[in-house]
Amino acid sequence: MMHRRCALVVVLAGACSADPPPPPVDLCDSTVASKVVTAGSAQLGLGDDCAPVAEGQQVGLVCGTQGGTMFLVNARVQDLDITAQHQGAVDFTAIGPGGANLTAVSIGCRVRDFTMASDGTMQLRTAYGLQLDPEALQTLQLEGASIQITAKVRDHLGQQATDTRTIVAHLPPACAP
């Protein structure tokens, strides 16, 4: 009888023990990125308020504090599992005339905080500086050029939403050294 009680206690203790949480997922890991599924929707925006971008809209570049030139972009998503507890991964790219990649080499997938927007969607907490490749700025005529900006947003479940808009670039006055 005593053995049955001990066995029952051991079985119940095992059933009640909390499993350790799964390890955190690196949302920008290329093995995770290769397994994404399309879900939800994304909307490319501009600035901290995530103002919607219209197709063909003229968008000004801004000078960064370290001399770079960038677009201040944002993204809004719905139907992805991005909450205060679950960050989202963002990957913004800029493609210029003739398919030239204008995105700076240092830019890539980044894990960022999102916040609830007034319409119930989730948007980046702050604007994202999509820095352009300085060499591309020297070799391409960007003023008035059509540039495709793509926002990809991924959640911790491997779901991804994408939005691409073609904008017309407007260069700022030369950035101060």
Q: 90 or 36: whose pLDDT is higher? A: 90
pLDDT tens profile 116-125: 999 999 999 9
pLDDT tens profile 128-155: 999 999 887 788 888 899 999 999 999 9
Taken in order 140, 142, 147, 152, the sign of the CA dihedral is positive
Instruction: Give 22's contacts (C-beta < 8 A, 6+ positions apart).
Output: none
CATH architecture, range 38-170: Sandwich (2.60)
pTM confidence score = 0.81
pLDDT tens profile 14-62: 445 566 655 556 788 766 666 778 999 999 999 999 999 999 999 999 9
Residue ranges of the domains in the chain?
A: 38-170
Instruction: With a cut of 70, say whether residue 102 has pLDDT above it.
Output: yes
* 130: its two tokens: 């999509």
Quickly list DSSP for 12-51.
HHHHHSPPPPPPPP-TT-HHHHTT-EE-SEEEEEETTTTE
Cα–Cα separations (whole angstroms), residue 64 to 101, 148, 177: 19, 21, 10
Residue 68: pLDDT band (50, 70, 90) is: confident
